[in-house]
Structure 1
Amino acid sequence: MENPASGPGAWSSSSRKRRERDEQEETPPDTDATGHSLSLEENFTFSDTLVALRIMRAQFPRIDKVSVRPFILRSQLYSSVDDRTQVDRELESLRREKVLRIFKLNTGQDDHAIMFVDDYLNQIERISKRMEGKKQYDVAVLEWFKIHVISSKLDPSIGHEELCTLLSMGGKVKDDHITLLINAGLLTRQLIDPTMYWFTIPNIGSVLKGLSQGRKELLSFLNRRKYKEMMLAPLERKCLRLSPMDMRFHLRDLIGSGHLKTAKTPSGLLVRVVKE
C-alpha cells in the first residue's frame, strides 16, 4: 500500500508550495530595490533560512566546464543566520516539505550541501538526456529513481534493499541499474557499510577538490598577514587561484565553520583567523 505522505499527491503538493514561494519573489534576491548588486557586507546576515538559501543560490558562482546546479553549504548558513538551532529546525522543515535535499559531502570533514529539489531534478534530467543516445545505458532507471526514490526517500543515505524495492515500482531492477546510478554520480557506496549508499550531487567531484584547496589558500593568505586579519570589503574582491568558487563562497563557509570570525569596526567588518 502506498504511503500517502510520499505518494504523487504529496509530490504535487510540495511542487505547488515551491511555485508559491517562487511567485512571492519580485526582485532578484541578491539585489536591492534599485537593482544594485549587494556586497557580502551589505547582505551578510539574515533572519530567515529560506531567504538566506535563495540569496546564496542566486550568488552561486558560474563554473566553467562543470555542469553542476547551485548548492549551499550548511556552514554557509551558520555564518548567515545567527541562531544555528533555528537553521537546523528550518532546514528539517524544508527537507520534509521536499523543497530541498541535504547531501553528505566526501571532503573528509563534516560537510553537508543543500540543493533545491527543483535544481536536483533538473540535473538528473540533464544526465538522462545525455545518456539517451547511448544504447549501452538503460536510462529508464533514472526516471524510476526520480519518481520513486527521490520523492519518497528524504534522508542523505539509503540501504541497498530499500533502494531496489523503491526502484522496482518502476520496473524489474538489475545490478546494471545500480551501477548506472553510481556511474551517473547519483549514488556512492559507503565505505563502512557497502550495502548502504549516500545520495550524491552529479559532477561535484572537481568542485569539492577546489573547495578544499580554496579553504587552504584563503587561510594561508590571512595567516601570512601581520595580524592574521583583513577588512571584509577588500578581501571579498580578491581572487583565489586554486578554487573555481569565488571569495564570497569561501568566506561564508570558513566563518560558519569557525575557522574565521568577524568583528565590527568603525570602518566595517573585519575578518580574522581564529586562533587554535
Structure 2
Amino acid sequence: MEKGKKRRREEEEEEIEAKNSDADHSLSLGKNLSFSDTLMALRIMRAQFPQIDKVAIQPFILQSQLYSSVKDRTQVDRELESLRREKAVRVFKLNTGQDDHGIMFLDDYIKEIEHVVKRIEKRKQGDLEVFKWFKVHVIESKLESSIEHQELTRQLIDPTMYWFAIPNIGSILKGLSQGRKELLSLLNRRRYREMMLAALEKKRLRFSPLDMRFHLRDLIGSGHLKTAHTPTGMVVRVSKE
C-alpha cells in the first residue's frame, strides 16, 4: 500500500515538474517531434545525436525515428530512396535481432572509415590499400545496404550476401536494445503506463549510452509508444498490445 502511495506521489511531482519546466523548449522533443520532410528530419536528428563516451562514432539515425517525425511513411520511404540514389546517405541493416535500419550521411560514413584507417596506421597493421579500393569501387558504386559475394570479389563462386556495417557500432547496438527494454519497463510500471513527455525527457537510462530523446523517437516510430496532447502537455504512453 505504501509503495503504491509513493509511486502516485512521484507521478504527481513529475507532473508538476513538467508544468513548471523551464527547459529550453527549442531543444525539447515536444517542439521537435514532427517535420515536413525526411531530409529536414535527418539533419535535425543528426545535430541532436547524443555525445557518447568511450565510443567514437559518427551520428546515425534509425528509420523508425523518421517514421515518428514524418507522418507519411510512404513519403519517408520515397524520399529516403531518393537521398540514397543521390549518394547523400547510406542505409544499413543493423544487427539488433529486429528489422532495424540505420541511416548515415555519406560524408559521415567516409569519415568513419577514415578514422578506422588512422587507427590501423598507428598500429601498423594490415594493408591500407583495401580501404582505398573499397571507397572508390564499392561505396561509390554500390548504393544498396548489401552486396553479393560475386560483386565484391568479381568471381561467380559463392552467392553469399554481405551487409555493409558502421564501424564501432557493436556496443551501441547492445545499448539500443537494452535501452528499449528499460524505457518500456519504466512506463509499464506507471499507474496508467504513461508519463508526461517533459518529465520523461529528463530521465536517464542506466543501460544505454544513447539519450532518452533517441529512444523515444525510436519507440514512437516503431509503434511501441504513442503520444497524446493534454491540457497539461504532451503525454507518452505504451501502445495497447
TM class by shorter chain equals: 0.7 to 0.9
In structure 2, C-alpha distance between the alignment counterparts of 1:250 and 1:81, rounded to whole Å:
16
Q: Which residue of 87, 105, 114 maps to 2:94?
A: 105
- Pair 1:58-2:47 in alignment: yes
Distance 1:255 1:140, change over 3 A: same
- Aligned letter for 1:113? G
Partner of 1:67: 56
For 1:113-164, what per-residue CA distance to the aligned partner results, in whole angstroms no more than 9, with x for missing partners?
A: 0000000000101111111244440011001101110000011110111012
Partner of 1:216: 181
Partner of 1:147: 136
Partner of 2:190: 225
Q: Which residue of 185, 190, 207 maps to 1:242?
A: 207
How far the C-alpha of 1:98 sits from its partner, in A, is 0.2
In structure 2, C-alpha distance between the alignment counterparts of 1:106 and 1:224, rounded to whole Å:
29
- Pair 1:93-2:58 in alignment: no
In structure 2, C-alpha distance between the alignment counterparts of 1:135 and 1:52, rounded to whole Å:
40
Partner of 2:163: 198
In structure 1, C-alpha distance between the alignment counterparts of 2:208 and 2:195, rounded to whole Å:
20
- Aligned letter for 2:83? L
Partner of 1:42: 31
How far the C-alpha of 1:275 sits from its partner, in A, is 1.4
Structure 2: runs of 5 or more not aligned: 1-23
In structure 2, C-alpha distance between the alignment counterparts of 1:136 and 1:76, rounded to whole Å:
38
Distance 1:235 1:36, change over 3 A: closer
- Aligned letter for 1:95? R
Q: Which residue of 71, 77, 99 maps to 2:66?
A: 77
Are the counterparts in 1 of residues 25 and 31 from structure 2 also a CA contact under 8 Å? no
Partner of 1:24: none
Partner of 1:165: 154
- Pair 1:127-2:110 in alignment: no
- Structure 1 stretch 229-238 or stretch 134-143: which is displaced more? 134-143
In structure 1, C-alpha distance between the alignment counterparts of 2:212 and 2:88, rounded to whole Å:
27
For 1:200-233, what per-residue CA distance to the aligned partner results, in whole angstroms no more than 9, with x for missing partners?
A: 0000000000000000000000000000001111
Partner of 2:172: 207
Identity, in percent, stands at 75
- Aligned letter for 1:160? H
For 1:219-270, what per-residue CA distance to the aligned partner results, in whole angstroms no more than 9, with x for missing partners?
A: 0000000000011111011100000000000000000000000111111111
- Aligned letter for 2:119? R
Partner of 1:13: none
TM-score normalised by L of structure 2: 0.86
In structure 2, C-alpha distance between the alignment counterparts of 1:268 and 1:81, rounded to whole Å:
21
Distance 1:223 1:55, change over 3 A: same
For 1:177-199, what per-residue CA distance to the aligned partner results, in whole angstroms no more than 9, with x for missing partners?
A: xxxxxxxxxxxxxxxx9721000
SS of alignment partner, residue 102 of structure 1: strand
Higher RCO structure, 1 or 2 (CA under 8 Å, sep 6+): 2
- Aligned letter for 2:107? D
- Pair 1:258-2:236 in alignment: no
In structure 2, C-alpha distance between the alignment counterparts of 1:48 and 1:113, rounded to whole Å:
17
Query: How many residues end up aligned between the 2 structures?
Result: 216
In structure 2, C-alpha distance between the alignment counterparts of 1:135 and 1:69, rounded to whole Å:
24
